[in-house]
Structure 1
Amino acid sequence: MKRIEFGFAPQGKRRVAMLCVLVALFSFMALPGNSQNIKKKAKNAPVFSNSVYEGNDKVYSDNPLKPGEFYNPILQGAYPDPAITRKGNDYYLVASTFAIFPGVPVFHSKDLVNWTQIGHALDRVSQLDVHDTGISAGVYAPDIEYNPNNDTFYMIVTAFAGGAGNIVVKSKDPAKGWSEPFKLNFQGIDPSLFFDDNGKAYVVHNDAPDKGTELYEGHRVIKVWDYDLEKDQVIAGTDKIIVNGGVDLSKKPIWIEAPHIYKRNGKYYLMCAEGGTGGNHSEVVFISDSPKGPFTPAPNNPILSQRHLSQNRPNKVDWAGHADLVEGPDGKHYGVFLGIRPNEKNRVNIGRETFILPVDWSGQFPVFVNGLVPMEPKLKTPAGVENKTGKEGFFPNGNFTFTDNLTYKNLDYRWVGLRGPREAFISQTKKGLQINPFPVNIKEVKPTSTLFLRQQHNSFTYTTTLDYKPASEKDLAGITLLQSEAFNYVFGLTRKGKDAYLVLERTEKGASKVIASQKVDIQKPIQLRVKAEGDAYQFSYSTDGKSFMDLGSPVSGDILSTNVAGGFTGTLIGLYATSANDVQPQ
């Protein structure tokens, strides 16, 4: 996964540019020592309360659900690179998080329709060190597998942070936490595990071709290793290339990756993504008599893609691929995969989301049902399954409202930090959630004192109440819309002389510009709001709790799209506080 092609530059230059960006991000220094774990309360720390996120996408109002239907994607917002496994009647799903902390959310379902988040696989700094990591580095392409031979769950992932490389963690119960990581002795990315019914185990992953054999830019291979379950390590010398380049090497396929092995009717199936994570993304499948190959591609590849369809189709879903298969509660197969829902200007502000489709495996090879035609926003539930999304604690989808007064002791799992634990800067109070500001600006590659939610709709409204009296021009608290450290908006309360000001700043390619500012009365808490209608974002505020006034005109969401900003994440909506503010009122 993990490399998106943007614009019209040659693919080689795009790849080199992205790698250079990642290398540059790794070079930034973190806060001194373990300061991300030290919480020294500021006297004037801001308190946030009454958080309300409300989605309002037209696709959902135009397509109301009928009994026996559910919406696709099943996980809206930046939950890319899904992987899924099953133990009995329980399903577990994971997704990429990059530099978000905690990392790798774990979801549970009984029916593939109704999901709850039960935690994160990497929720400790000892497991995940991303303190000096650019937002699109960190951990990505996780795989989760259940091994019935030893009744153990495994989560394996690539970590571009802390010198970790490829790691695996284990659990007897994903709801009760995961082990410390085992560092694996191989290069490459996108690893997954396969447990054969004879007790043997294997790791399969993307890698570079053998030295001197690379034929073109984007030429990659799939390797397999024997895996020692006692030592939790690949067995040296057992590695073997099982796919070279992709389905047809003569056509110079790029970025064969995200491999998974399955066994059915005595045959071994290898399913991979091909074509890169952007507009040429697809899913392909191979067959063999052995997990070590040789693997032969299916004659009907790709088995999932949206790349050949009209760019003007309504309710467009694109970039489909990076999939994983599981048998459903009805005995049929299903596949989870990533896709995007661009806005009216074809910008990808939400990020890559988790979709699902039924899979027809009545023939020799699996095929995603309707995976090669324009995807619909609704699907039929598996037989006997009732759609309870958004109710009884199940994760919502469609148009929904998420209200949180931020006074609960345990935060909802949807609230996340960036590059470090939330607990390093948050405190619960009777009035709401207090954020102790770090001397770190949102534009720095360091742990930030910011609590984030994912943007989950192209059109949404987010409102929060802020109780705050900044002491100096270095103090700021408010809302940030963050695509990355170099591309973001800051809408916050600061000080100029004796007066309090609201400011709106746009940062593009690391260069910041104040768009608007306004002196305000902060004798009482102030409400802050951002309303997106597709690509237009309007920031507003209220000092009386009733009427809202706009701060400036609507601004473009261009810098919040991966088309402009690059990278692999979606927009994050943050409750932000800093004592290193550089946004000055006009």
Structure 2
Amino acid sequence: MSKVPAPEQSLTFTNPLLEGMHPDPSICRQGDTFYLVNSTFEYLPGLPVYASTNLVHWDLIGHAITRPEQLDLSSARASGGLFAPTIREHNGLFYIACTAVGVDGPSGSFYITAASAAGPWSNPVWLPDAAGIDPTIFFDGDDIWWAGCRQVAEPEYEGQTEIWLQRLDPVEGRLTGPEHILWTGAVKGAIWAEGPHLYKHGEYFYLLAAEGGTGDNHAVSVARANNVTGPYLGNPRNPVLTHRNFGGTAAVQCVGHADLVQATDGSWWAVALATRPRHSLTLLGRETFLAPVAWENDWPVFNPGLGCLSESGEVPAFVTAETNAAAEQPLITSPNPVRRVLGRDEPWITARGFPAQHMGEAGSENRIALLSTGARVDRTEPAAALGVRLSHHTAAFAATVERLLRSPAAGGPMQTLVGISLSQSPESQIRAELSVEKAARIDIIEVAGGVSRIVESRNLDDETFDRLVAGEPAGIELRMAVLDGATVRVETGTDGAVVLSADLPARVLSTEAAGGFVGAVASVYSMGTAGTGAVFAEMVYER
């Protein structure tokens, strides 16, 4: 865990707290330690769990979905999978409520539990009667409540949703008792009242919700009631947090989907998602931001005096001692270094599958053997790819194809396709790719709207081809650099000499072009004939 300052000091936080794709944040506290979880959609391991003792420095301590028997996302569409988790702690047990969307096999709403937020987490308890998405769980004495969001059966307008509530029986693992409709949002005509969270503060129960969709009109609204089942009265000042009135030139946009937590000193804080477009392009996805919350007239006020997310702020020193939230070494300790060497211990993410399913030993911690299953990264398939989130508007991702791997068990003609990519979805990618079949070739490829085009291509010499086919060291260098969120510079080379170079517009990787709910991911991949692949070395992420 990260160091905690002396009690008399305060800490400055800088937004975003978690850079790159960290949407739909949910937060809770146990003792002196805060825990935070995010959506991961089609990426596994799913639902990263972060810990902090000061709300400023966050350590990745584990993931909630780490085993194939928990969840099968192999069929998940782009931006399908794990939606909007809620994390809570009650009587020493942690709960995460979540929804699996658009997958074959078990899907819908579920909850998992763990004695430690670092895991291991249980297999899902599925709730087939829990309609809709974005579930939350709320503990009120001996009562456990489950709330979610779904479309109204007979809507007044397109996109109208309702937030509903029902008791949860954790012994039986099912919903029970009457259902209560709590709210349809603050603004008539505003779509998707979703992401509900419930709290008890003073004499009121509070319902926090997002509305307006997760794009430019995103906002946070709040309602309160004397009873958890309602009726709920909306705050006359709703929405209580939004940047939608700032216009398209604002540095921070799409603010919404918030969750509240109280610190040990009694102060209240909110985490929320927001985006940081650059040149009107959103490459990094939705990130996690922090804001102080005050209570005035029994209503929460976000960032008092400003009413919006700020670039920075101060957190009081409400922690009096250094603690260790996880009983094990964190996977990543913030802040991230300027140059991160990527190896086997990196918490890689993989679309529709687990990284360990594709990763093999390669002789050292900073080398990885990656074997293809025959699935492709430009299709909605569980391809062999290891990724890290693009977290900065100016950053570089590089790897060296040290040597090729060709399994004799594959038999027949074999084509090896290995490389690096920046990807927002199977239909929106930029790749630098080594192809070896009857010849060896390097291609720079752009995939836009599902249509692939080779931007630059060059055949390698016969000597290099022979070394590659023989599995001998070849040293094919691949590098992609994002420049100010506008351009992607792709360079490939051997022995330090540039073979190919191209500058491509970054727009293909943006939410504006590709849609969806995720941010760009930088990956090494193998997608040739099953059993072929490569040993990747010198993998780095630089900012």
Kindly indicate whether structure 1 or structure 2 has the higher relative contact order, using CA contacts under 8 Å at least 6 residues apart.
1
The equivalent of 1:143 in structure 2 is: 86
Structure 1 pair 562/399, CA: closer, same or farther in 2 (3 Å)?
A: farther
- Quick one: distance in 2 between partners of 1:462 and 1:443? 19
- Quick one: distance in 1 between partners of 2:260 and 2:243? 18
Q: Which structure 2 residues correspond to residues 332-411 of structure 1 after superposition, within 5 A?
A: 332-344=267-279, 346-369=280-303, 375-383=309-317, 395-397=333-335, 400-404=338-342, 406=343, 408=344, 411=345
The equivalent of 1:74 in structure 2 is: 17
The equivalent of 1:216 in structure 2 is: 157
The equivalent of 2:539 in structure 1 is: none
The equivalent of 2:132 in structure 1 is: 188
The equivalent of 1:428 in structure 2 is: 361
1:502 to 435, 442, 459: 442
- Quick one: distance in 1 between partners of 2:399 and 2:305? 40
- In 2, are the aligned partners of 1:258 and 1:273 still within 8 Å (CA)? yes
- Quick one: distance in 2 between partners of 1:578 and 1:555? 23
Confirm or deny that 1:565 pairs with 2:514: yes
1:514 to 435, 454, 462: 454
- Quick one: distance in 1 between partners of 2:392 and 2:442? 26
Structure 1 pair 398/450, CA: closer, same or farther in 2 (3 Å)?
A: closer
1:556 to 505, 529, 536: 505
- In 2, are the aligned partners of 1:114 and 1:394 still within 8 Å (CA)? no
Offset at 1:362?
Answer: 4.2
The equivalent of 1:25 in structure 2 is: none
- In 1, are the aligned partners of 2:294 and 2:304 still within 8 Å (CA)? no
Q: Structure 1 residues 268-277 or 157-166, which shifts more?
A: 157-166
Offset at 1:542?
Answer: 3.4
Q: Which structure 2 residues correspond to residues 30-429 of structure 1 after superposition, within 5 A?
A: 68-148=11-91, 151-160=92-101, 161=103, 162-184=105-127, 185-196=129-140, 198-209=141-152, 211=153, 213-235=154-176, 237-243=177-183, 245-248=184-187, 251-313=188-250, 316-344=251-279, 346-369=280-303, 375-383=309-317, 395-397=333-335, 400-404=338-342, 406=343, 408=344, 411-413=345-347, 415-429=348-362
* Deviation string, structure 1 residues 530-554 (Cα, Å, up to 9, x no partner): 1111210001123224x5x373431
- In 2, are the aligned partners of 1:304 and 1:372 still within 8 Å (CA)? no
- In 2, are the aligned partners of 1:92 and 1:108 still within 8 Å (CA)? yes
Tell me the C-alpha RMSD between the 2 structures: 2.5
Offset at 1:373?
Answer: 5.5
- Which secondary structure does the structure 2 equivalent of 1:506 belong to? strand
Offset at 1:200?
Answer: 0.7
Q: Structure 1 residues 534-543 or 463-472, which shifts more?
A: 463-472
Structure 1 pair 550/378, CA: closer, same or farther in 2 (3 Å)?
A: farther
Offset at 1:164?
Answer: 1.6
- Quick one: distance in 2 between partners of 1:371 and 1:142? 30
Q: Structure 1 residues 486-495 or 215-224, which shifts more?
A: 486-495
The equivalent of 1:50 in structure 2 is: none
- Which secondary structure does the structure 2 equivalent of 1:361 belong to? strand
Offset at 1:398?
Answer: 7.6
Offset at 1:147?
Answer: 1.3
Structure 1 pair 135/310, CA: closer, same or farther in 2 (3 Å)?
A: closer
Structure 1 pair 254/541, CA: closer, same or farther in 2 (3 Å)?
A: same
Alignment-mate amino acid for residue 368 of structure 1:
F
- Quick one: distance in 2 between partners of 1:252 and 1:227? 31
* Deviation string, structure 1 residues 18-50 (Cα, Å, up to 9, x no partner): xxxxxxxxxxxxxxxxxxxxxxxxxxxxxxxxx
Structure 1 pair 127/76, CA: closer, same or farther in 2 (3 Å)?
A: same
- Quick one: distance in 2 between partners of 1:403 and 1:552? 23
Name whichever structure is richer in strand by fraction. 2
Structure 1 pair 155/109, CA: closer, same or farther in 2 (3 Å)?
A: same
The equivalent of 1:543 in structure 2 is: 494
- Which secondary structure does the structure 2 equivalent of 1:559 belong to? helix
- Which secondary structure does the structure 2 equivalent of 1:563 belong to? helix
Structure 2 residue ranges without an equivalent (≥5): 1-8, 323-328, 407-412, 468-473, 531-543
Q: Structure 1 residues 572-581 or 257-266, which shifts more?
A: 572-581
Offset at 1:325?
Answer: 0.2
Q: What TM-score does the superposition give when structure 2 sets the normalisation length?
A: 0.86
- Quick one: distance in 2 between partners of 1:570 and 1:190? 20
- Which secondary structure does the structure 1 equivalent of 2:299 belong to? coil
Structure 1 pair 89/189, CA: closer, same or farther in 2 (3 Å)?
A: same
- Quick one: distance in 1 between partners of 2:330 and 2:25? 24
- Quick one: distance in 2 between partners of 1:67 and 1:91? 17
Structure 1 pair 374/332, CA: closer, same or farther in 2 (3 Å)?
A: closer
Offset at 1:379?
Answer: 2.2
- Quick one: distance in 1 between partners of 2:455 and 2:405? 20
- Quick one: distance in 1 between partners of 2:198 and 2:358? 42
- In 1, are the aligned partners of 2:285 and 2:518 still within 8 Å (CA)? yes
% identity of equivalent residues: 32
- In 2, are the aligned partners of 1:82 and 1:338 still within 8 Å (CA)? yes
